[in-house]
């Protein structure tokens, strides 16, 4: 199986990046998300967005489920971009530029002023991306602006709905693998987390997969989260994977439920996945890569549709599925 990621610049196709997807990890990509060759959304639809979260959902929600707003507060959001099986010797900033494209695009739609933060400039300088006209354009614009305008990643100055991308956290849930056992061809799978601060209170319930057609296409094929897990192994015990928990969050919330986390960070008291992700991001130091712990419980509570409730018990390298709360 091959997963094609289409990268765009101002609506024009720039490059097709091909990822080889082995049968053993097919289920992981269904759970966590892998971009596919998209049909281009109608630009007029996302230009009418009333928030950055809605803009991203309308623009990207039909083409990928590995690029999402994953946590929401009234004045803050967390954006995740997960990259799969990237060659270790690649210094590629295309995913970072996609985030900048969307931030700039929404800022322009509300007639705001864009400021490249020092963190964005440093991130692009460290990743000399080949064969990308976007990269050349961004480097030129950043040189013209210069450092010292904003210490974070990006800022949109606007009285309408201004916002700042305060920080970028790299190598989240980093995993290395050798395709077909060839250790000379190591690949990396990792996420980048972006913390967004909004100037005005935001509506909640705008996580990208809730508004995008891509996840709806996947979710409609399964009657329960157990069915989705059974793609890989017909058992209640599964190997631990980060994607299984992000997949649980997507499935639970898409079907009207709420996912709760209980572990050492929460003092083993259940809190929502949204709050957990904010707390975890705040406690990460520069070398931290793991979002979750070695012992924890995840519970999908769904009072409207009790049959969709489930519990996942994480113990070191195993994950146990149980139906119901």
Share of the chain above pLDDT 90, in %: 67
* Cβ–Cβ < 8 Å for 54, 211: yes
Confidence of residue 185 (pLDDT cuts 50, 70, 90): confident
Query: Are both 185 and 317 inside the same structural domain?
Result: no
Query: Are both 90 and 198 inside the same structural domain?
Result: yes
Inform me whether the pLDDT recorded for 180 exceeds 70. no
320, HSE (Cβ side, Cα atoms, 13 Å) = 9
Confidence of residue 182 (pLDDT cuts 50, 70, 90): low
Find the distance separating the first CA and the last CA of the chain, reported in whole Å. Answer: 35
Question: What does DSSP assign to residue 180?
Answer: G
> Cα dist. 195→29, 86, 294, 312 in Å?
24, 23, 25, 27
Inform me whether the pLDDT recorded for 231 exceeds 80. no
* Cβ–Cβ < 8 Å for 164, 60: no
Higher model confidence: residue 68 or residue 87? 68
Query: Are both 76 and 160 inside the same structural domain?
Result: yes
Query: Are both 178 and 246 inside the same structural domain?
Result: no
Query: Are both 130 and 273 inside the same structural domain?
Result: no
Q: 163 φ, ψ to 5°?
A: -160, 165
Query: Count of domains in the chain?
Result: 2
- pLDDT at site 229: 85
> Cα dist. 214→37, 38, 41, 55, 143 in Å?
11, 9, 12, 15, 37
Last residue of a domain, one of 210, 232, 265: 210
Share of the chain above pLDDT 70, in %: 83
Q: What is the pLDDT of residues 39-48, one digit of tens each?
A: 455 565 677 8
Query: Are both 153 and 274 inside the same structural domain?
Result: no
- pLDDT at site 117: 98
Query: Are both 203 and 249 inside the same structural domain?
Result: no
Rounded to an integer, what is the distance from CA 222 to the centroid of its chain? 22
Please indicate, yes or no, if residue 306 is contained in any of the structural domains: yes
Query: Are both 261 and 154 inside the same structural domain?
Result: no
Please indicate, yes or no, if residue 301 is contained in any of the structural domains: yes
Inform me whether the pLDDT recorded for 158 exceeds 70. yes
Please indicate, yes or no, if residue 15 is contained in any of the structural domains: no
Give the CA diameter of the chain. 57
Average pLDDT for 286-301: 96
State how far the Cα of 83 lies from the Cα of 80, in Å rounded to an integer: 10
Inform me whether the pLDDT recorded for 206 exceeds 50. yes
Last residue of a domain, one of 210, 241, 272: 210
Please indicate, yes or no, if residue 12 is contained in any of the structural domains: no
Inform me whether the pLDDT recorded for 5 exceeds 50. no
- By residue range, what is the domain housing residue 100? 38-210
Please indicate, yes or no, if residue 277 is contained in any of the structural domains: yes
Least confident among 4-8, 118-122, 129-133:
4-8
Least confident among 110-124, 132-146, 166-180:
166-180
Please indicate, yes or no, if residue 29 is contained in any of the structural domains: no
- pLDDT at site 108: 96
Q: What is the pLDDT of residues 24-34, one digit of tens each?
A: 344 554 565 55
Average pLDDT for 172-197: 86
Q: Containing H/E element for 301?
A: strand 295-301
Beta strand pairing call for 310-315 and 271-272: unpaired
Inform me whether the pLDDT recorded for 205 exceeds 90. yes
Copy the structure tokens of residue 295. 């012992």
Query: Are both 190 and 75 inside the same structural domain?
Result: yes
Inform me whether the pLDDT recorded for 212 exceeds 90. no
Q: 107 φ, ψ to 5°?
A: -60, -45
State how far the Cα of 248 lies from the Cα of 307, in Å rounded to an integer: 15
Query: Are both 77 and 110 inside the same structural domain?
Result: yes
Last residue of a domain, one of 183, 210, 237: 210
Query: Are both 116 and 247 inside the same structural domain?
Result: no
Average pLDDT for 157-185: 87
Put the strands of the sheet holding 67-72 in their side by side order: 67-72, 76-87, 186-198, 163-178, 154-157, 113-116
Query: Are both 155 and 103 inside the same structural domain?
Result: yes
Q: Containing H/E element for 227?
A: helix 225-229
Please indicate, yes or no, if residue 292 is contained in any of the structural domains: yes
Please indicate, yes or no, if residue 11 is contained in any of the structural domains: no
């Amino acid at each position: 199986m091959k997963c094609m990621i289409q990268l765009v610049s101002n609506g024009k196709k720039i490059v097709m990046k091909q990822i080889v997807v082995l049968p053993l990890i097919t289920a992981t990509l269904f759970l966590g998300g892998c971009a596919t060759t998209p049909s281009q959304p109608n630009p007029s639809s996302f230009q009418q967005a009333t928030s950055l979260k809605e803009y991203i959902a309308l623009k990207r929600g039909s083409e990928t489920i590995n690029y999402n707003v994953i946590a929401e507060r009234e004045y803050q959001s967390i954006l995740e971009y997960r990259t799969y099986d990237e060659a270790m010797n690649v210094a590629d900033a295309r995913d970072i530029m996609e985030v900048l494209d969307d931030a700039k695009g929404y800022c322009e739609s509300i007639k705001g002023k864009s400021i490249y933060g020092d963190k964005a400039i440093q991130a692009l300088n460290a990743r000399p991306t080949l064969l990308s006209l976007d990269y050349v354009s961004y480097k030129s614009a950043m040189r013209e602006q210069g450092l010292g305008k904003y210490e974070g990643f990006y800022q949109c100055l606007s009285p309408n709905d201004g916002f700042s991308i305060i920080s970028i956290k790299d190598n989240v849930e980093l995993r290395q693998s050798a395709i077909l056992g060839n250790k000379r061809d190591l690949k990396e799978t990792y996420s980048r987390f972006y913390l967004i601060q909004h100037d005005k209170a935001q509506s909640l319930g705008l996580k990208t997969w809730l508004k995008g057609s891509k996840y709806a296409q996947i979710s409609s094929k399964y009657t329960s989260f157990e069915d989705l897990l059974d793609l890989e192994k017909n058992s209640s015990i599964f190997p631990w994977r980060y994607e299984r928990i992000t997949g649980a969050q997507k499935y639970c919330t898409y079907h009207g439920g709420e996912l709760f986390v209980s572990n050492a960070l929460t003092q083993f008291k259940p809190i929502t996945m949204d709050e957990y992700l904010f707390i975890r991001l705040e406690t990460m130091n520069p070398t931290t890569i793991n979002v979750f712990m070695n012992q924890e419980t995840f519970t999908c509570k769904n009072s409207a549709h009790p049959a969709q409730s489930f519990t996942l018990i994480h113990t070191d390298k195993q994950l146990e599925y149980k139906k119901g709360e």
